[in-house]
Chains A and B, each alone.
Chain A
Amino acid sequence: MEDQYQQDEQFPGWKYAFLQYAIALAFVLLLAGYWRLQIGQYRRYLDQAERNRTRNLPVIAPRGRILDREGRVFADNFPAFSVLLMRENAALLSPARSEGIARGLRLDPSEVARLVERTAKLPRFQPVVLKQAATMEDIAFVESHRVEYPELDLLQVQQRLYPKGQIAASLLGYVGEVSEEMIAAPGSLYRPGDVVGKSGIEGFYNSILVGRDGMRRVIVNSHGQEVGSLTTINALPGNDLRLTIDLDLQMVAEAALGESPGAVVALDPRSGEVLALVSHPSFDPNEFAHRVGRETWQQLTTDPMKPLLNKAIQSHLAPGSVFKIFTAVTALETGTVTPDYTVHCPGAVTIYGHMYKDWVWDKGRGHGSVDFHRAIVISCDVYFYTLGKLLGIDKIAFFAKRLGLGARTGIDLPNESSGLIPSPEWAQKVLKRKWYAGETISVAIGQGAVAVTPLQIAYAIGGIVSGGVFRRPHLAFRDQLLALGMKPPDEEDRRFPLAGATVETVSKGMWGAVNEGGTGGSARSPGLDISGKTGTAQVVSASLKDSGGKKAEFRNNAWFVGYAPSHEPEIVVSALVLQGEHSAVAAPVVRDVIKAYYDKKASRVAPARVEQMQTKVLSQVMELRQLVPLKAGTP
């Protein structure tokens, strides 16, 4: 064997040279390739490597809390998770990926696609919120699909929490995802997925409550998991907002109105501070804290009782006999009659050839001889029909508007209704017809086209009994707004000085209505100096009502406005009970609130108990939120 190999001739030398040159050439090509990447495109690849390893995560600023006047919490935050879509490597998702993500997070695939498309133009480093209030399943999906979907990440956010549920919900409003219009608005700093106040206080004072989000630059691995942190821009929390609302009064007002649809407003006429503001039926703002479920939304928007409407400031309805106070003031201020002016009430009166019935007509009697004071006490329609005829619509409308009706009060809540004080000009302009003299007679007792809000009634009556000083109702303390650099609304307190005698006469009338066996007797409370005026407003004409039988929607709306004490009142409360049929159901609501106001003033025991109860409720809610991940649509 050995010999055989040794005798072998060698292979030709050129073959080795060829091999060596071939190898060397290959290495030159390789080196050229590495040169191109490492020297030629160094910057570009360095950028990409940097983008790979870093991720910009927003640090969500907690929204300011909303507190009552004593610092008790109406709206707070609790930690939750949002699912983010990181877009550093690709602004758009392929349809398959988008669908996979939608399926994993149980979102509507078309919604995800739309969101991605909508946000394609935003800077790549800004992540997009795919889903708020991630459930345990969502979090598990993101964590277990880090490899498949590295573009998903979780962000700890501050979820809005309303520990008191439906209490003051209409007033507080709710938060939700910022709308596209808001994002597009000039000077807007909002990004899709940002949470903003949508209505109520949350909406009106959004700029105070909203914080400024920070940013964290972190190092991530290829699975998107955070392995280190580079820089942090701290989030600026939103400012807390203290309201003029007194939680104790609010709770009492909520309870007093109970299940009945309607509204309650309690004001301090000396300052315009709103002490309580209730609208029923209401809603649970916690359900809006993330995307509200379709079912819930449907239910809220189709409910005939309009839970999303803040009836205290938005429902404008005929005030009924409450309006007699305005007719009375007009009559006295214009000197049309004096307090000793007397009318005989046989139960009805014929004016302009039409018979106007008094509310006692159905009882088969009249009020007999009635003077000014008595007319207010027993709410004699015939007396005020007569005054209406004497005054005419122009004077009534002029005074009603000066006394705070027919225009927005300027409360710091969005979408306040202005109500309506009809006039011949209004008829001409809106109805394109002449004003009928007979309409004046109806207006004089608060029927016809007159429309007011419960807030306006409390505001106007409070202003009248305070001698014509109308303090703009407000929920945020002026000093606080100034300290936060926000200019309080322009509409200032208004003055329309009334003669002392006028104020005295109508006040006494309202005191009598409650305390002299008048129509407001159910507002009477021993030891309390409560005055007030009832109102029962027909929703439909009497004849239609008779034919309609006892249909709920044809039932009269019940009004009551009360205040205490009778001189220089500290609190004025209006209550509206929709379909309450009789004003006697509204009066006790007002009485309860005023009583609570004085009880609280007299002792500090009650609030402590209430606070205790609330703390318990709060802790229960917190527990619930942590244990059971919120699902859209579940109560």
Chain B
Amino acid sequence: MRYTLLLYTDPADIAHMTPDDWEAEKQVYGAYIGALQEAGVFVDTDWLQPVDTATTLTLKGGSRQVQDGPFAETKETLGGYFVVEVPDLDAAMAWAERCPAAKVGKVEIRASAMGAFE
């Protein structure tokens, strides 16, 4: 089954990163990606720009409304995700536990709904 791990972290934790910080960050996440690939469960990942660059758009209510910022203000925000292909939720949880974001933020695990209603 396909699962998406949504990584929620406090943007203040990674504010004002220097190129060295960025390099160290990439190394740690790189090791995690390497472990996922080694196990043959890696599908996709991305690292998102901070939430203050978010734009939220809706047509709900009949008119196009654009909001500068995220749809909801929270202390911990979506900073990136991993998509993994594993047999079940237990396995997805084992990998979420290993994720570098889990130790400083929260990892939300969601199963893919694609094909679930066919």
Bound together:
no
